[in-house]
Structure 1
């Protein structure tokens, strides 16, 4: 059996971290846009109604899945030929690190409170959008 951890050396770490940082910046931009929109009373009332209802839990789950899918979309634009199952797992690790560091920054975040559930849902989003790149798993 070959050493599976040896493959970690050959992942495109720079591109994966750039993708994760760019994804976090896009999410931060969307959050800042939504916080500016919440100053309008009608929009604030609409968001309060949506997020307080049981539908709010599904919305938060969809946001986390969407962040994972957005990361794969960005990765496809930056480094399409090198995407495989290993690089998708590397992207998950980079997303976890970037969002963990971002949770310590004094930036108001309301959409994504980083935790275990959000991490699992980001993994679902990454591998749901990255399904065409699973073919490399057969080689293992």
Structure 2
């Protein structure tokens, strides 16, 4: 069976070191707040995936084609343009929750927000849980 050659893999790098280097200070504060929210909501310890994604939990996938691999279950990246939040595996429609979230943009498999002040963090926590529950319907999620 073909294994995936995912570019985004766990690195073993320090999450704390990564978060402490985020700039500017306002984005660093948002990243620290997201880390606390993800830890509380998921109960998982964070792991760095690639050079800039903080991941919580992981899952192993195996498609009918035989391609398989591992990927983070949920997480975020404090990117230069916006905070990218990886919570929607793409299996379910979360429109009802997203309509209550606040100012955001949807990417292919992520949610982008400029700053946390633009969104409702309780709704984000609800969305994280819904995304994990939906993912669990397809692939078992393991804590990292």
Superposition TM-score, scaled by structure 2 size: 0.27
Higher strand share: 2
Bigger relative contact order (CA 8 A; separation at least 6): 1
Higher helix share: 1
Q: Which of 1 and 2 has greater Rg? A: 1
